[in-house]
Amino acid sequence: MRQFLRLFKILFTFWRFGLVKIVRDSLKPGLVKTLLTIVSWLTPSSYSRGQSLRLALEALGPIFVKFGQVLSTRRDLLPEDVADELAKLQDQVPPFSEAKSIALIEASLGKKISDVFSSFNQKPVASASVAQVHFAVLKGTSKYPEWEGKEVAIKVLRPGILPIIESDLALLRILAGLVEKLWQDGKRLKPKENVDEFDTYLHDELDLMREAANASQLRRNFEGSDKLMIPEMYWDLCGLNVMVMERMHGIPISKLDQLKAAGVDLKKLASDGVEIFFTQVFHDGFFHADMHPGNIFVSVAPKTFGRYIALDFGIVGALSDSDKNYLAQNFLAFFNRNYRRVAELHIESGWVPKETRVEELEGAVRAVCEPYFDRPLKEISLGIVLMRLFQASRRFNVEIQPQLTLLQKTLLNVEGLGRQLDPDMDLWKTAKPVLERWVDKQIGIRGFIDRIKDEAPHWAKLVPTIPRLLVNWLENHQESQKSQTEELMLRLLLEQKKTRTLIWSSMLFAAGLLGGTLFTLIWLG
């Protein structure tokens, strides 16, 4: 009954915000389309299709809002106007009660709030669809006296969020099935695959130990960096539904007036942001994949002035060496207008069938890329280029990998953020040195030397054992030869014995034959 009522509310919300008309226009001819035509006559809304979808998702609650945010990144599947409208969705969710928050924190820590924190701000400073954040100050302990007076941020999962998520995901799967069956373009939009992808993101975000581990890895990757800061995790205070981390002070990246007033160089900030992203992707193969303005701050403290501060590490992307190689060489080939190489890379990556004709794919890539070269490089969006390449590849049965979808989404965020800070930013000019360094590291002399260094520990362990391995091999070889010789001698002796027996038998037979013949002649004579 609860599922039925929830489904009824979804359908009513769709009608209220005018989605019925949009759904009707997109359906295949049939009874359902006829019924929706009748219902649409009573629809009160006059919003555009993008506005209708955004407002409906906002009205349906935080899980649908987050689904809209994830869906907005699939610009390879959605019309531009719908993707742009969905990108406006924000998590402005009312916080849950202070008493519940305190109870969850104390249950996770196994201690009273007053035993761990010298001060605790009961009013949350941020509230999102799956968690909210409180500020506090730590007390020192006998084990960690250095904790005394440390400012921390405490992230707490919403109580009872998992059943709500599972229920809404089940309804989303039902809707996805209907879209795929009834919508004219339903299969191309891959609604079920998008719901599955959303399911993965949500469940990853529900494990705060996983998020803490992501943050720790990024912090280690950028240790000593003068461009990016990651909060420290307090592991002894972290659990599945509570995470305690270093509190970071800074100005939100979206507050341009405040950044200018503080004296931050926005052009340098834009350039640093691009370099940070491409370093994460091509050097580390591990990147923050939720880099919207709400998760990015800028430090104005004297010692760390102008550095980025990254927050919220629930969604990260990881790339293999083959992924990195594919992307780096694709970008380089694109800007060198080497479309054949772009096509070859698609085939070499295994994402299009091997029997694909290079010339056909090259022509499709040229049709996508060539129009961009009528524009200055600073006006070229690498994210859009990547998306267009994926779209062009689809008719060749390319399978786009989830990690590349995350990369495309993040690249679009980085580009938008960079050009907001510096409208004249030449993203390619900033990114190209990072790509070239990576390619040189992989296939150049530097790469050869680095790989020797990487293998050195293995060699150091192996080299001292070579004499012993050689002696063992010689002994085994000699033993083997000895065994082979002995076997051969036995075979020769056996053959010799057989030959000797055959000779004696032949001689005896001949003697018997001769004796018999003589006896017969004498007897007859």
By annotation, the residues acting in catalysis are 290
Cross-strand bridge partners of residue 117: 138
DSSP reduced 3-state for 216: helix
H-only helix segments in 352-396 = 358-369, 382-394
**What DSSP element (H or E) covers 46?**
none
- What's the CA gap between 323 and 401, in Å, rounded? 10
Tell me if 43 sits within 8 A of 18, measured CB to CB.
yes
DSSP reduced 3-state for 246: strand
H-only helix segments in 370-422 = 382-394, 402-421
DSSP reduced 3-state for 287: strand
DSSP reduced 3-state for 292: coil
In Å, what is the CA distance from 103 to each residue of 25, 78, 500?
A: 50, 43, 100
Instruction: Kindly report each contact of residues 233-236 with a partner whose C-beta sits within 8 Å and lies 24 or more positions away, as own/partner.
Output: 234/138, 234/147, 234/152, 236/143, 236/144
Tokens of 318: 């990881």
Name 68's Cβ contacts closer than 8 Å, sequence gap at least 6: 53, 54, 57, 58, 86, 89
Cβ burial 331-367 (10 Å sphere, 16+ → b, else e): bbbbbeebbebbbbbbbebebbeeebeeeebbebbbe
The residue ranges of DSSP E strands in 416-508, in sequence order, are none
Tokens of 252: 């939100």
In Å, what is the CA distance from 166 to each residue of 171, 295, 314?
A: 9, 26, 18
Q: What's the distance, CA 27 to chain centroid?
A: 33
Tell me if 72 sits within 8 A of 87, measured CB to CB.
yes
Tell me if 102 sits within 8 A of 95, measured CB to CB.
no
- What's the CA gap between 341 and 210, in Å, rounded? 39
H-only helix segments in 141-235 = 161-182, 186-189, 191-205, 208-221
